[in-house]
């Protein structure tokens, strides 16, 4: 399952404008700010409650991972969160959901300001998720792959009692291999299909994506979660892609071999996680659809946002209870409900139908 490379050509993948380059395949810029927040402050950024603000748009799958990890680990009080709106322009994600259009902690209108506070000539995309140092109001890192790993390990002293071990040491090598494979084939695979600039590039990406989904369908036939009976970092990374699949990727990105709900193991797994505290309660389907269908105008020039699909099926029985299960791991417990200020608008999620 291992992959040996990642696309590294510059690609401003989170900004409004041109996503598709005619005559070429999509290549994601994987060069991020490498600084880490650690217990030993090796990069100058110590783990410290209340010092950092996580900027994570609900619309973005890469940011969705950090919201899930923060919830599962109980880091809400240690790391505050700012949530940009689902649509933006070429310059930056904007805090248009906040009163006065400014983040109430940083005072910024645009995430771009936090990047420029540290790097005045920052040459790459202004991406989420991003961790911002509150005292200096400057970005620390936007390395989405490393952020969740550090939340699970470096921030352990501030985890809630009963927090799951999302990155157990004995499974790290296998989790890393699976995550790398999923990144290329699934998480970024949908983008490779959707932003392909040639028929050949599209068909190649489409084939790799569906081959990978078939592998995952088989993997989940006899295990409740990707690594077995307990939730891990691998599930945190796959869920945001799967939950967006039928609503966006199936049609918008032309990943239309079949809807995900027709694949019994993947669909049951997705429903299972959606109904698990910390997963579905981070998902805002209205914001997700507005982001893709409004921002990506070269794919959807009319900016018309689909009404469907029906969301009620996310709450149907998932049928995964008979598989070996230790959801939260030894000594682990479910997270507390989300903070009142972070509850998803009931109009934008099916969870309100059951009062969850």
Cβ proximity of 79 and 53 under 8 Å? yes
**Under CATH, to which class is 169-354 assigned?**
mainly alpha
Q: 80-82 and 52-55: which strand pairing?
A: parallel
The one catalytic residue in 60, 202, 206, 292 is 60
The number of residues in the chain equals 356
Cβ proximity of 130 and 12 under 8 Å? no
Strand order through the sheet with 138-141: 80-82, 52-55, 130-133, 138-141
DSSP, collapsed to helix, strand or coil, labels residue 84 as: coil
DSSP, collapsed to helix, strand or coil, labels residue 102 as: coil
Residue 191 annotated among the catalytic residues of the structure: yes
DSSP, collapsed to helix, strand or coil, labels residue 138 as: strand
pLDDT tens-place values along the chain, 356 residues long: 433 334 333 233 444 345 777 766 677 777 899 999 999 999 999 999 999 999 999 999 999 999 999 999 999 999 999 999 999 888 899 999 999 999 999 999 999 999 999 999 999 999 999 999 999 999 999 999 999 999 999 999 999 999 999 999 999 999 999 999 999 999 999 999 999 999 999 999 999 999 999 999 999 999 999 999 999 999 999 999 999 999 999 999 999 999 999 999 999 999 999 999 999 999 999 999 999 999 999 999 999 999 999 999 999 999 999 999 999 999 999 999 999 999 999 999 999 876 65
The one catalytic residue in 19, 108, 167, 191 is 191
User: How is the chain split into domains, by residue range?
Assistant: 169-354
Element spanning 87, H or E: none
Query: 210 among the known binding-site residues?
Result: no
DSSP, collapsed to helix, strand or coil, labels residue 54 as: strand
> Alpha-carbon distance 337 to 276, whole Å?
11
């Amino acid at each position: 399952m291992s992959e040996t490379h990642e696309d590294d050509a510059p690609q401003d993948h989170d900004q409004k404008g041109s996503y598709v380059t005619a005559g070429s395949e999509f290549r994601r810029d994987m060069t991020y700010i490498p600084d880490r927040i650690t217990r030993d402050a090796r990069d100058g950024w110590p783990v410290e409650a209340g010092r950092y603000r996580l900027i994570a748009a609900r619309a973005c799958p890469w940011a969705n991972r950090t919201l899930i990890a923060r919830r599962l680990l109980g880091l809400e009080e240690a790391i505050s969160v700012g949530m940009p709106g689902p649509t933006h322009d070429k310059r930056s994600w904007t805090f248009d959901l906040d009163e006065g259009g400014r983040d109430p902690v940083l005072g910024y209108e645009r995430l771009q300001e936090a990047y420029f506070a540290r790097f005045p000539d920052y040459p790459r995309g202004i991406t989420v998720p991003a961790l911002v140092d509150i005292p200096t109001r400057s970005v620390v890192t936007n390395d989405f792959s490393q952020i969740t790993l550090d939340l699970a390990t470096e921030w352990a002293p501030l985890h809630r009692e009963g927090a799951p071990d999302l990155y157990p040491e004995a499974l790290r090598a296998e989790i890393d291999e699976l995550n790398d494979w999923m990144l290329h084939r699934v998480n970024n695979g949908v983008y490779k299909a959707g932003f392909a600039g040639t028929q050949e590039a599209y068909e190649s990406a489409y084939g790799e994506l569906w081959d990978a989904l078939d592998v995952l369908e088989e993997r989940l036939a006899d295990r409740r979660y990707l690594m077995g009976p307990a939730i891990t970092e691998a599930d945190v990374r796959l869920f945001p892609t799967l939950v967006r699949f039928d609503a966006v990727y199936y049609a918008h990105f032309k990943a239309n071999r079949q809807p995900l709900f027709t694949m019994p193991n993947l669909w049951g797994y997705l429903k299972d996680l959606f109904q698990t505290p910390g997963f579905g309660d981070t998902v805002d389907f209205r914001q997700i659809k507005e982001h893709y269908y409004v921002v990506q105008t070269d794919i959807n020039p009319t900016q018309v946002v689909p009404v469907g699909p029906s969301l009620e099926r996310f709450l149907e029985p998932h049928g995964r209870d008979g598989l070996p299960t230790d959801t939260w791991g030894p000594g682990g417990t479910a997270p507390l409900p989300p903070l009142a200020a972070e509850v998803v608008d009931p109009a934008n999620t099916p969870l309100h139908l059951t009062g969850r």
